[in-house]
A and B are shown apart, each in its own frame.
Chain A
Amino acid sequence: MTTKPTTVLDARALDRTLRRMADQIVELNAGCENLVIVGIQRRGVQLAERIVRIIEAQEKVQVASGALDITLYRDDLQTVGPRPVVGATSLPWALDDQRVVIIDDVLYTGRTVRAALDELADFGRPSRIALAVLIDRGGRELPIHADIVGRRIDVAPGQRVDVFIEELDGRDEVLIASRNEEG
């Protein structure tokens, strides 16, 4: 089964989508007061940084942001074993009574978000936590939904969504590829 990867978002579409998501985040929170944007390692962090830049340019305010690595909160250590690379968590802000927006690249089973919610709870008690994802590919295994979605696509379990971003991959693009092309 070697279907050619199909492009879901090219660089310009990705930029437009992030701008719309940034607007929706400000709208959802009725402004930027007490807003904290938290990206999930890895690509969620860079997407969060871009969204923060967009909001700051438009609203002329400083927006608090952080990074979350959920590796240590996964529910599959006993089965899959340790993931060799644990990324950095940096949440330099007290989260009590803040309005937190979690940013991730792809929402699939919901297990990453479940882990992120557990981890955030160890940093304080936000007044609200929302979820914004670039791609919602369906296939949830937990009762989790995103408040803001960049693009909703139906992807078969045998396929995967690849998000490439300039900061890490040298280009901006979102693809659907079949799973057996995996490196």
Chain B
Amino acid sequence: MAGPLGKDLLGIAPLSADQIRLVLDTAVPFREISERAIKKVPTLRGATIVNLFFEASTRTRISFEFAEKRLSADTVNVAAAGSSVSKGETLVDTARNLEAMKIDMVVIRHSASGAARFLAERIESNVINAGDGTNEHPTQALLDMLTLRDRFGDLTGKRICIVGDVLHSRVARSNIWGLTKLGAEVAVCGPRSLLPNAIEAMGVTVFNRIEEAIEWADALNVLRLQLERMQAGYIPSLREYNRVFGVTGARLEKAPRDLVILHPGPMNRGVEIDSDVADGPHSVILDQVTNGVAVRMAVLYLLAGGKPELAEAAKKGNA
């Protein structure tokens, strides 16, 4: 029953470059569906998808829900708060109970790294990782890559710098794996306290000064600075972070070329990114949101269906 991506989408690390390209190529025609008056195709009619969100999320959850609904799937949202999870039920028990109600796919977000894989190994439904701890957020990386490809065409040799809290960022990890597989050059830039030790082993360049990153890059992917990092002592203050690492109009003006600006959202305007940049002509932040729905439709489509034993039976019936 494994389709072109296998049973699950757990991360970018296990994917081949061809599989990544397949998702991006498939996402392109899906964009047109969201432009139609009737924004719906019958592809996943009859499939039931559970969105299991153990961690707060607005954009990703809504984006998945739009993608599911535009493919005609039936969807159920389970949030940790107010569900049996808050009564102490384990992840596996929650999922097994859902499976007993005959579901086809689970989209899971969880604060524990590896939660998606743990679930995928224990249930028969397709599992899509919508963010697990500090491990991976594959659909975010895929939509970032699609947005960059829209701008650059081929990503080979393009220079993408990820700016900010790389240490805690599953978006950064998924992006680094994906972009390097597609042949891009990847760098990271941020305070040393927010960069993982031995990050160079992932094949990236490290910049300690944002000015150097801006001079080097074709695009910046500016990460959200989690405000609780300040309380935890990783950075002295938000104001200082903005002064040293903030992506500002004044800094970009000195760049040798126009930089494409990405941000996975939600933004802290005036902290990691200034409003004139976020709303500027080279910002593709809203294109990322549009592409997010298309990429998730592509992933759902590529994981769905494909029961070879049924196909064989159908063929015999036809002959």
Contact = CB atoms under 8 A, between A and B. Distances in A.
B3 A81 contact: yes
B42 A118 contact: yes
Contacts, number: 76
A154 interface: no
B56 interface: no
Contacts of A76: 311, 314
Contacts of A89: 29, 32
The residue in B4, B30, B306, B314 that gathers the most chain A C-beta atoms within 10 A of its C-beta is: B306
Interface in A70-103: 72-73, 76-82, 84-90
Contacts of B306: 77, 79-82
A77 B303 CA distance: 11
Interface of A: 69, 72-73, 76-82, 84-90, 118-119, 122-124, 141, 157
A176 to B, nearest CB: 19
A115 to B, nearest CB: 9
B22 interface: yes
A73 B3 contact: no
A89 B305 CA distance: 22
B122 interface: no
A146 to B, nearest CB: 21
Contacts of A88: 28-29, 32
A87 to B, nearest CB: 6
Nearest to B26: A86
A86 B311 contact: no
Contact of A82 (B38, B40, B301, B310): B301
B94 interface: no
Interface in B26-84: 26, 28-30, 32-33, 36-38, 40-44, 71
B25 A82 contact: no
B43 A73 contact: yes
Contacts of B42: 72-73, 118
The residue in A78, A122, A141 that gathers the most chain B C-beta atoms within 10 A of its C-beta is: A78
B4 A82 contact: yes
A21 B255 CA distance: 59
Contact of A77 (B30, B43, B314): B43
Interface string B302-316: 101111101101100
Interface string B4-39: 100000000000000000100110111011001110
B32 A90 contact: yes
Given A78-B310, A79-B307, A86 B22 contact: no
Interface in B101-160: none
B319 interface: yes
